[in-house]
């Protein structure tokens, strides 16, 4: 008797799901067969790749199927029970369900599930804070109820005030995100930005330095959250700092929402009880549909509700429905087991890499990701990313603190465990993965440039190494199939 490999995929009936996808692809293929073929090929490719991209995951068939229907056709600007279009009763049902599940899942007083993505969730949050803290006092002062009631002179004053605010966030090379006030994103054009980084010696967040920076800079918004910091953040301490300087504390948990939902991050490390506003994606460690959402303390709820049409286009009812399904899945006890496995697996991956001589930023991890410094292998992040991809291992290059190679070539590779944990990888598989990664990086040599230097992009791999590694990853993946039993043929 063979036992099925352990998996953290939300259980589904494989025969029913296979029928559903076969029928769907037949309908799609009758119109544009190349799209149906690409959808099928995407499943094959995802099944065959060792996905260590820290921001990706595999949503359940239930979540995915919820997105392909006539909810997509509905306009539903406004909020539940207060729409600018007729006939939104079923949208109201799914939006209420998604919000209710989100509130219960995260223990939040208020949830807004309309944002289309993480970036959009942040924009909603930023404008909600501006509305609450800058616009509202200006309206009160002018004795007006609505911006349209302001005199032209008052409106000009308010516009200047809105454009003259400050945001403090984690620096990009410490793992922060572009949307936390950096110039390539609109947040960097809306706000005067300043950053806090990590301690150069320990590479850990230095809360005293954050406090000093906050006191000096006096931001309207203090951001926490990251996409490449491999450690927990003490949100209770960050809130104390925000309170001390009169800042509104916004946490972007886009990356680690699954660890919050699964109660791996609790107490001081759970952002929800400490932040005024929390923003997130739903598709990363949380394993839902591609989208965003906002949680808020009651005093910000009305302002957050105005996200559409303030900064968002009409809501995506099919995606809100899928959020409701995903949040319901995350409320199952099995999801906590998944989240704990994601964190345990990150430990195994980190130990597997360190014990083979690799250097990890901060020396390890206590969340779902590991940041590997590849300089000791004589490589840039770009070379490491490409060499690993040649060998069938999918990662992404990432800057490390004070990166000597800048933001394009970088010196790091970011590795995350959420996706492979969904497939059922455990400690042994992640140790083997670490071994394969180190072998590939040791077997990659940068090529010389014509002027006698060393290339930051080109490299050669030891003969046969890519094929050998591909065979080894194929073996690991075959033992842990993606969507076990799902068959499109
Ligand atoms: C991924 C991410 C986002 C952006 O999410 P999108 O859905 O791609 O817009 C925002 N903030 C952080 C911290 C992220 O990691």
Residue 342 and residue 136 in contact, taking contact as beta carbons nearer than 8 Å: no
Residue with the smallest CA separation from ligand 1 atom 10 is 118
DSSP output for 217-285: H--SEEEE--SS--S---HHHHHHHHHHHT-EEEEE-TTTHHHHHTTSS-GGG-STTT-SEEEEESSST
Q: Find residue 217's DSSP bridge partners.
A: none
> Does the beta carbon of 8 lie inside 6 Å of ligand 1?
no
Domain spanning 72-330: CATH 3.40.50.80: no
Q: Check the annotation: does 178 bind a ligand.
A: yes
- Whether omega before 309 lies within 30 degrees of 0, making that bond cis, reads yes
Give the CATH architecture of domain 334-478.
Alpha-Beta Complex (3.90)
* Centre of ligand 1 from the C-alpha of residue 149, in Å: 36
Mutate to test the pocket of ligand 1, among 254, 367, 368, 414 (most ligand atoms within 8 A of CB): 254
> Does the beta carbon of 227 lie inside 6 Å of ligand 1?
yes
> Does the beta carbon of 57 lie inside 6 Å of ligand 1?
no
Q: What is the pLDDT of residues 26-77, one digit of tens each?
A: 999 999 999 999 999 999 999 999 999 999 999 999 999 999 999 999 999 9
Residue with the smallest CA separation from ligand 1 atom 14 is 254
Mutate to test the pocket of ligand 1, among 174, 224, 227 (most ligand atoms within 8 A of CB): 227
> Does the beta carbon of 482 lie inside 6 Å of ligand 1?
no
pLDDT lower than 50: segments of the chain: 1-4
CA neighbours closer than 13 Å in the CB half-sphere of residue 172: 16
> Does the beta carbon of 254 lie inside 6 Å of ligand 1?
yes
pLDDT of residue 8: 84
* Ligand 1 atom with least separation from CA of 284: 1
Q: Per-domain residue ranges for the chain? A: 72-330, 334-478
pLDDT of residue 2: 42
Q: What would the 3-class secondary structure string for 435-487 be?
A: HHHHHHHHCEEEEECCCCCEEEEEEEECCCHHHHHHHHHHHHHHHCCCCCCCC
pLDDT of residue 5: 52
Residue with the smallest CA separation from ligand 1 atom 8 is 118
Mutate to test the pocket of ligand 1, among 118, 175, 177, 293 (most ligand atoms within 8 A of CB): 118
Q: Check the annotation: does 295 bind a ligand.
A: no
Interior/surface letters 336-346, b for 16+ CB within 10 angstroms, e for the rest: eebbebbbbbb
> Does the beta carbon of 119 lie inside 6 Å of ligand 1?
yes
Q: How far is CA 389 from the centre of its chain?
A: 22
Q: Find residue 170's DSSP bridge partners.
A: 196
* Centre of ligand 1 from the C-alpha of residue 89, in Å: 31
* Centre of ligand 1 from the C-alpha of residue 33, in Å: 32
pLDDT of residue 1: 38
């Amino acid at each position: 008797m063979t036992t099925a490999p352990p998996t953290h995929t939300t259980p589904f009936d494989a025969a029913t799901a296979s029928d559903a996808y076969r029928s769907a692809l037949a309908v799609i293929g009758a119109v544009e067969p190349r799209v149906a073929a690409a959808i099928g090929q995407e499943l094959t490719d995802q099944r065959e790749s060792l996905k260590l991209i820290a921001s990706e995951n595999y949503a359940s068939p239930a979540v995915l199927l919820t997105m392909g229907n006539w909810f997509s056709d509905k306009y539903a600007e406004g909020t539940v029970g207060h729409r600018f279009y007729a006939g939104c009763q079923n949208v109201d049902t799914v939006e209420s369900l998604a919000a209710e599940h989100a509130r219960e899942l995260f223990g939040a007083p208020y949830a807004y599930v309309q944002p289309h993505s993480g970036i959009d969730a942040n924009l909603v949050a930023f404008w909600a804070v501006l509305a609450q803290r800058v616009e509202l006092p200006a309206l009160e002062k002018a004795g007006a109820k609505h911006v349209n009631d302001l005199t032209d002179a008052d409106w000009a004053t308010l516009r200047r005030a809105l454009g003259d605010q400050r945001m403090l966030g984690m620096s990009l090379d410490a793992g922060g995100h572009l949307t936390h006030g950096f110039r390539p994103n609109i947040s960097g054009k809306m706000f005067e930005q300043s950053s806090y980084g990590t301690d150069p010696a320990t590479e850990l967040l230095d809360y005293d330095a954050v406090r000093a920076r906050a006191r000096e800079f006096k931001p309207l918004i203090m951001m926490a959250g990251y996409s490449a910091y491999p450690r927990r953040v003490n949100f209770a301490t960050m809130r104390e700092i925000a309170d001390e300087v009169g800042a509104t504390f916004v946490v972007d948990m886009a990356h680690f929402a699954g660890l919050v939902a699964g109660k791996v991050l609790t107490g001081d490390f759970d952002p929800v009880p400490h932040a005024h506003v929390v923003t997130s994606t739903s598709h990363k460690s949380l394993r839902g549909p591609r989208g965003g959402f906002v949680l808020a303390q009651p005093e910000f709820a009305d302002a957050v509700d105005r996200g559409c049409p303030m900064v968002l286009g009409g809501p995506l009812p099919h995606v809100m429905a899928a959020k409701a399904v995903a949040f319901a899945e995350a409320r199952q006890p099995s999801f906590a087991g998944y989240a704990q496995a994601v964190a345990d697996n990150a430990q195994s991956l980190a130990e597997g890499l360190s014990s083979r001589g690799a250097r990890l930023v901060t020396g390890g991890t206590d969340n779902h990701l590991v940041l590997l410094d590849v300089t000791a292998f004589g490589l840039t992040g770009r070379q490491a990313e490409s060499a690993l991809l040649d060998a069938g291992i999918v990662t992404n290059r990432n800057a490390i603190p004070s990166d000597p190679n800048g933001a394009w070539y970088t010196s790091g590779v970011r590795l995350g465990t959420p996706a492979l944990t969904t497939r059922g990888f455990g400690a042994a598989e992640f140790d083997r993965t670490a071994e394969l990664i180190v072998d590939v990086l040791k077997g990659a040599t940068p090529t010389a440039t014509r002027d006698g230097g060393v290339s930051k992009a080109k490299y050669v791999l030891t003969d046969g190494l890519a094929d050998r590694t591909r065979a080894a990853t194929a073996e690991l993946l075959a033992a842990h199939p993606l969507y076990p039993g799902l068959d499109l043929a």
